[in-house]
Structure 1
Amino acid sequence: MIVVIDTSSLLSLVRYYLPFDQDNRLLNFIKKEIQNHNIIVIDEVLNECKLVSGKLVVKKLNFLLDKEFLKKNKVPIKTDNLIPPSPKKFYNLVDNTFKTTNAKRLNSAQFEQQKKEFLESADARMIIYLLIQISKNSFENLILVTEETEGSNDLKAFKKLPAICKILDIEVKTLPELLESYNDINLSFE
């Protein structure tokens, strides 16, 4: 199983799980999974983690700031030059299927700006990374982990991660669902 993890899930991990991880079992497990590239952290997610919630994620997962750890383990995955498989089809989906009803209120220049921002976002880069892995006929079970819900509750021009993944047939789990699927860790709250 290969997991691409979103900023929201890393934030949940450090806020709601690690405070109860008295023996660092969960922390060490997550670190090992990142080292082994079973949990993928892309560059834009790491950049977001350095900016959100007072840098809580990188303070608690301080190995994500350790230059030697990052270099040795090739973390984060670089995504700035990724090209989606079937680019024409993907960009057609972006222009038509991934749009929300809010996008209809934008003029063409505003939409193009929103589209540019979306394509540079961690969300789009995680999706493109997963599509590339799927196109390589990977036999791995590929999963996107996010705490986002499918329903739109903001005024953004593009759908949220779970809704886009549903369109693309990419499996999505929340952090609790992911942790439940690991047999290697036994979490208990005493």
Structure 2
Amino acid sequence: MKVIIDTSSLLSLVRYYLPFDKKTKLFDFIKAEFENGNLILIDAVYQECEYTSKGIVLKSLDYLLIKKFKKDFNLPFKTKDLIPPSTKKFYNLLNDNFRTPLSKKLNDAEFEERKKEFLETADARMIILALIKKSEKEDVVIITEETEIGNDHKAFKKIPAICKILDIEVMTLPELLEAYKGIDVEFK
């Protein structure tokens, strides 16, 4: 299974799990998942991690700051030029189904500007990458702590709501850790 991880989940990992990982089992497991390519960190999420909470994610997962490690394991995964499969269908969904009620109050020029901004976000890039992996018949899941409920006055729905429309699996970090076989984290 390929796992695309969001900034919110990485923050949860380093704030609420790693401080109790005294034997570094979880730390080592996450590092190994990056190394074997099963855990995907995209460039837009990496950039968010650089400035979110004073860079706590990158400081805690310090191997993500090492140039050789990043080069050897293709981290972060470059997403700037990704094109969604079934491009026309994706843009139709973007224009119609992914919109929040707030965006329907925007005039055409304002909506086009918001759409352009959204497509540059980590959320959109993770979703597009998941669609590509899915079209390649790979088992893929997006890990995020977001919920479907939109409460941030944005023009587009949150990751879980969009993924529900696209039939992309979404999990929270606790659900992922439970799904991983062989990761028996002890909080002692």
Alignment TM-score > 0.5, same fold:
yes
Q: How does 1:120-159 map to 2 (within 5 A)?
A: 120-138=120-138, 141-159=139-157
1:172 maps to 170
Measured in 2, the distance between the counterparts of 1:107 and 1:52 equals 32
Determine the C-alpha separation between the residues in 2 that align with 1:168 and 1:67: 35
C-alpha contact (below 8 Å) 2:5/2:144 kept by paired residues: yes
C-alpha distance in structure 2 between counterparts of 1:46 and 1:184, whole Å? 27
The residue aligned with 1:161 is 159
Q: CA deviation at 1:63?
A: 1.0
Q: Which residue of 2 aligns with 1:6?
A: 6
The Cα of 1:97 is off from its aligned counterpart by 0.5
- Structure 1: tracts of 5 or more residues without a match: none
| Cα shift readout 1:2-47 (whole Å, capped 9, x = no counterpart) | 1110000000000000000111110010000011111110110101
After TM superposition, give the deviation of residue 137 of structure 1 in Å.
Answer: 2.1
Identity of aligned residues (%): 60
Per-residue CA deviation, residues 57-115 of structure 1 (Å, 9 max, x unaligned), is 01101111111100011111110111100111101111111000000121222111111
Corresponding residue of 2:31:
31
Distance of 1:63 and 1:107 partners within structure 2: 45
SS of 1:84's equivalent in the other structure is coil
What SS does the aligned partner of 1:50 have? Answer: helix
Distance 1:182 1:89 in 2: 33
The 5-angstrom pairing of residues 93-104 of structure 1 reads 93-104=93-104
RMSD, aligned α-carbons: 0.8
* TM-score, structure 1 as length reference: 0.97
Stretch deviating more after TM superposition (102-111 or 162-171)? 102-111
- Supply the distance in 1 between the matched residues of 2:59 and 2:7 (Cα, whole angstroms): 14
Q: Structure 1 CA distance, aligned partners of 2:74 and 2:186? A: 32
Determine the structure 2 residue equivalent to 1:85: 85
Q: Which amino acid counterpart does residue 135 of structure 1 have in structure 2?
A: S
What is the number of equivalent residue pairs in this alignment? 188
Indicate yes or no: 2:180 matched with 1:182.
Answer: yes
Q: Deviations over 1:132-177 (max 9, x none)?
A: 1111123xx2111000001111210000000000000001000000
Shift of 1:184: 1.7
Unaligned runs of 5+ in 2: none
Query: Scaled by the length of structure 2, what TM-score is found?
Result: 0.98
Check whether the contact 2:99–2:157 (CA below 8 A) recurs between aligned residues.
yes
- In the alignment, the residues of structure 2 paired with residue 151 and residue 15 of structure 1 have an alpha-carbon distance, to the nearest angstrom, of 23
Contact 2:22 2:187 in 1 (8 A): no
